[in-house]
Amino acid sequence: MSLDAVRAAIVATLEGLNIGPVHGWERYASTNAALLALYSTDGVLGGWYVRRVRTSESSPSLGRHVERIEWEIRGFLGLQDAAATELQFDAQIEAVRAAFRADETLGGAVATTVSDDTAGIQVEDSGPVMFAGVLAHAARLRLITITYI
């Protein structure tokens, strides 16, 4: 499968979870208002993006190449302490993890998302940040996809 097809499968999986706008690349804008619009629904911050961070290729056996791609998936949700939005954001993260666990081939786009040392989505970091001028929860997730080329 092509890089674009794998990216599209990851984005489609995330979009099926109703967690806000999902972008296939890290979106930028020249103003906070424009950035907020990219990652919001009805003015409420809550969105995600997918970015490839690393690709490696190996040939463990004659005539077979293994491509391993590491993806970073970042999510944001406006922080409202009184509404306990941290719990809502944690629930979103767990829904993401469950969705990728349920389909280790991303609908056939990859051979697997299980590698020697990881299976599915890994939570690398989660905590408060300022994003687009808004205090927000942020998470950095990691996914490794493996294809044979």
CATH topology of domain 3-148: Alpha-Beta Plaits (3.30.70)
Ramachandran angles phi, psi of 128, nearest 5°:
-75, 145
| Confidence at 37, pLDDT banded by 50, 70, 90 | very high
pTM for this one?
0.94
C-alpha separations of 87 from 93, 99, 144 in Å: 10, 18, 26
Sketch the domain layout of the chain as residue ranges.
3-148
> Which element (helix H / strand E) includes 147?
strand 134-148
Q: What is the per-residue pLDDT for 115? A: 86
**What does the pLDDT look like over 95-124, one tens digit per residue?**
999 999 999 999 999 999 998 889 999 999
* pLDDT, tens only, 126-141: 999 999 999 999 999 9
